[in-house]
Amino acid sequence: MKEFCQNEHCENPGANVVPVSVERASDQRRTLCRPCEEAYTWGVQHGTLVAQVRPALPRLTRFLKKDGFVILSHNDHDPSAAGPFEAWAYRGPLDLRVATPVTFGVGNGVQDALDSLEAQLEATCRHVDLREETHDLDGRAVS
């Protein structure tokens, strides 16, 4: 244990050595004073809770694995005022001449746009499954 707290904004005497996560989980150990250790512990707890609360995106994950790709964009001219971030799901290979837009989600942040797209995919999923279509190398539809 070091003599002083290793929080660079703090000059208290060190009280405890705690594992901290810099690049990987618990990859370093630092000496902290009591107040800093408490603040750190609460921060870790908050981060863990936020990570648990954040929902997975099962529809989007499935779509990316099997159906197509997603384009994220920032659109200041979004008429719905629900943006400005947009997440567009395209069905098909990663080629805009061939791929077709399926649906999109908007939000005031990237995560919001992805969450919105997840909800849209859930609503359109059955419809998408009915439109199975493949393309040859020139982009023509093949039945």
Measured from the CB atom, the residue of 12 and 75 that comes closer to Zn ion is: 12
- Per rule CB under 5 A, is residue 116 in the interface with Zn ion? no
Strand pairing report for 16-20 and 28-32: antiparallel
Q: Which spans in 18-132 are helix H?
A: 34-53, 58-66, 110-130
- Selected from 5, 99, 106, 117, the binder of Zn ion by CB under 5 A is 5
Measured from the CB atom, the residue of 2 and 127 that comes closer to Zn ion is: 2
Amino acid at 143: S
Q: Please confirm whether the linkage preceding 84 is cis (ω < 30° from 0).
A: yes
Report residue 3: phi and psi, to 5°: -70, -35
- Per rule CB under 5 A, is residue 10 in the interface with Zn ion? yes
Burial of residue 52 (number of CB atoms within 10 Å: 0-12, 13-18, 19+) = exposed
- Selected from 30, 31, 33, 89, the binder of Zn ion by CB under 5 A is 33
Measured from the CB atom, the residue of 18 and 71 that comes closer to Zn ion is: 18
- Per rule CB under 5 A, is residue 12 in the interface with Zn ion? yes
Which residues are registered as beta bridge partners of 30? 18
In the complex, least distance from residue 25 CB atom to Zn ion, rounded to whole angstroms: 22
Q: Which stretch binds Zn ion (CB under 5 A): 5-13, 15-23, 104-112, 119-127?
A: 5-13
* Interacting residues toward Zn ion by CB under 5 A: 5, 7, 10, 12, 33, 36
